[in-house]
Amino acid sequence: MLFDSHCHFTDEGFDDCREELAEKIRSSELKFIADIGTDLETSRKAVAAAEKYEFCYAVVGWHPSEVGRLTDDLLAQTLELYKHPKVVAVGEIGLDYHWEDNPHRGLQQQWLRELLLQAARLGAPVCVHTRDADGDTFDILKELALGKTKVLMHCYSGSAELARQYVKLGAKISIAGPVTYKNARKTVETIQAVDLSDLLIETDSPYLAPVPLRGKQNTPLNVEYVARKIAEIKGISYEEVAEATFRNACEFYGINI
Ligand SMILES: [Zn+2]
């Protein structure tokens, strides 16, 4: 069984094929997916999908690229959704310094701190996005979350050494499709450095399709390629990776099976 720990199943990219995709998921090894919100609207869509599809869980939050529009009231409405029994975490939240037109760094950091404090108050696990912001993300998480709140580093692309530090402080590391790309040296080293019991797998679909489907639309079904790549890197069986990452995801999101 497989668990796609981070995807955007309710993204517009799936609007004309979602039912078809749902049927394919039901007849595959993919048992669960987590649909991740990036603002209030997408968080609400994720909750609606979790109600409609038995294989879907929802994560609600504000992506760092979106926090320029965030207000205390919108945040309160978003976190209110956490009461729903199929909402299993707060996310995605974090820091993204990659895009020049993103909200300025100070504002991103301010909202990340606020989101972490409120998630801790709710006892919610958090799914963290970080891009070109490794040092600041680690410092803020270390100060406010690591060791207190369950933390999942989504689509991890940092160094193996940093991954070790995250794991030492209790975080889990989620590996996505780019591990199958030719330039994935750092992620390969991370997989070698991190125990299977601390790894989750994801697609971040409809983005980031893995090889051999790179350039095409990605779907949650392709999480299988990520599991196969991890098995190859660790020299263990695909089944072992699938089973362990499934268990790790259920445990992280508090899903009893
Ligand atoms: Zn995402």
- What is the overall mean pLDDT for the chain? 96
CA of 235 to the centre of ligand 1 (A): 28
Predicted confidence at residue 208, as pLDDT, reads 84
CA of 243 to the centre of ligand 1 (A): 23
Question: Is 62 in contact with 26 (CB distance < 8 Å)?
Answer: no
Question: How many separate domains does the chain show?
Answer: 1
CA of 206 to the centre of ligand 1 (A): 9
CATH of the domain at 10: 3.20.20.140
Question: pLDDT above 90 covers what percent of the chain?
Answer: 94
Q: What is the pLDDT of residues 79-126, one digit of tens each?
A: 999 999 999 999 999 999 999 999 999 999 999 999 999 999 999 999
CB atoms within 10 A of CB 29: 14
Predicted confidence at residue 250, as pLDDT, reads 98
Number of continuous H segments (helices) and E segments (strands) in the chain: 9, 8
CA distance 21 to 220: 9
pLDDT at 257 exceeding the cut of 90? no
CA of 219 to the centre of ligand 1 (A): 12
Predicted confidence at residue 230, as pLDDT, reads 98
Angle separating helix axes 72-80 and 105-122, nearest 10 degrees: 40
Per the structure block, which two tokens stand in for 65?
Answer: 């690229």
CA of 66 to the centre of ligand 1 (A): 12
Closest CA to 156 of 125, 136, 131: 131
Q: What is the pLDDT of residues 171-181, one digit of tens each?
A: 999 999 999 99
Q: What is the pLDDT of residues 174-233, one digit of tens each?
A: 999 999 998 899 999 999 999 999 999 999 999 888 888 888 889 999 999 999 999 999
pLDDT at 141 exceeding the cut of 90? yes
The span from the first CA to the last CA of the chain, in angstroms, equals 12
CA distance 30 to 227: 12
CA of 204 to the centre of ligand 1 (A): 5
List the domain range (segments joined by +) for residue 211: 2-253
The residues facing 175 across adjacent strands are 201
Predicted confidence at residue 241, as pLDDT, reads 98
Predicted confidence at residue 210, as pLDDT, reads 85
Predicted confidence at residue 209, as pLDDT, reads 86
pLDDT at 254 exceeding the cut of 90? yes
Using pLDDT thresholds of 50, 70 and 90, give the confidence band for residue 256: very high
Predicted confidence at residue 216, as pLDDT, reads 85
